[in-house]
Amino acid sequence: MAGNTPPVGVLALQGDVREHLAALSALGADARPVKSAGELERVAGLVIPGGESSVIDKLSRIFDVRDAIRARIASGMPVYGTCAGLIMLADDLVDGIAGQQTFGGLDATVRRNAFGTQLDSFETELDIPALGEPPVHAVFIRAPVVERVGPGVEVLARVDDGRIVAIEQGPLLGTAFHPEVAGEHRFHERFLERVRAAS
């Protein structure tokens, strides 16, 4: 199955790139770091890792990869974003730093650092019907939440207080938590299925 999957990329400007490359490789994918528009051209899907969203935004402009990513998202490339990656995929951002931009794509509003400081970072079990059993072990690190979703967006998961922490819209998938640091591969598998379907 993995042999039919075209190469996929992990945006390698800053953040937990290594963990995503490992998760994708464990699923048999040809996963490559992507730092430039040229490297982006050679992949059929992109993971945007966890990291500091304000830095990933800046570096995407400094290294001229932002416009290329936006164009690929507009043309239907599957993208999976975790934490900072979810922020980068949101059309609207609350509590960004001055001038912070996102790539957009998901018709949603995401609040940065929604749970507080590192002392409020936590791990928990989430029931996610779209993934079935067992529950997902979810690690939230200075995590964002989704505060608004448009009509085309499917909510995949909420935390106990009802706040939205995983969403999907067509080929775009975003989680506020980090499956890649918890040995959870089902979101990456879902992303790879979208890549295969799109190719």
Partner 1 sequence: MSTSETGTARVKRGLAEMLKGGVIMDVVTAEQARIAEDAGAVAVMALERVPADIRAQGGVARMSDPDLIEQIMAEVSIPVMAKARIGHFVEAQVLQSLGVDYIDESEVLSPADYVNHIDKWGYDVPFVCGATNLGEALRRITEGAAMIRSKGEAGTGDVSEATKHIRTITGEINRLRSLTKDELYVAAKELQAPYELVREVAETGKLPVVLFTAGGVATPADAAMMMQLGADGVFVGSGIFKSGDPVARAKAIVKATTAFDDPAVIADASRGLGEAMVGINVADLPAPHRLAERGW
Name the residues that contact partner 1, by CB under 8 A: 12-19, 35, 50-52, 54-55, 58-59, 62-63, 83-84, 95-98, 112-113, 117-127, 135, 139-142, 160, 178, 181-182
125 is catalytic: no
Shortest reach from residue 144's CB to partner 1, in Å: 12
User: Residue 141 annotated as binding?
Assistant: yes
CA distances from residue 138 to 30, 53, 186 in whole angstroms, order as listed? 25, 19, 12
User: Residue 186 annotated as binding?
Assistant: no
Q: Could you tell me where the beta strands, DSSP code E, fall in the chain? A: 8-11, 31-34, 46-48, 79-82, 90-94, 106-111, 122-126, 136-140, 145-149, 154-158, 164-169, 172-175
83 is catalytic: yes
Catalytic residue among 19, 178, 184, 188: 178
Closer to partner 1 by Cβ: residue 44 or 80: 80
d(CA 16, CA 21): 9
Sign of CA dihedral 144, 36, 168, 49: negative
d(CA 59, CA 6): 26
Catalytic residue among 19, 180, 184, 188: 180
Closer to partner 1 by Cβ: residue 128 or 195: 128
Closer to partner 1 by Cβ: residue 58 or 194: 58
- Binding residues are 51-53, 112, 141-142
The residues carrying an active-site annotation are: 83, 178, 180
Annotated binding site for L-glutamine: 51-53, 112, 141-142
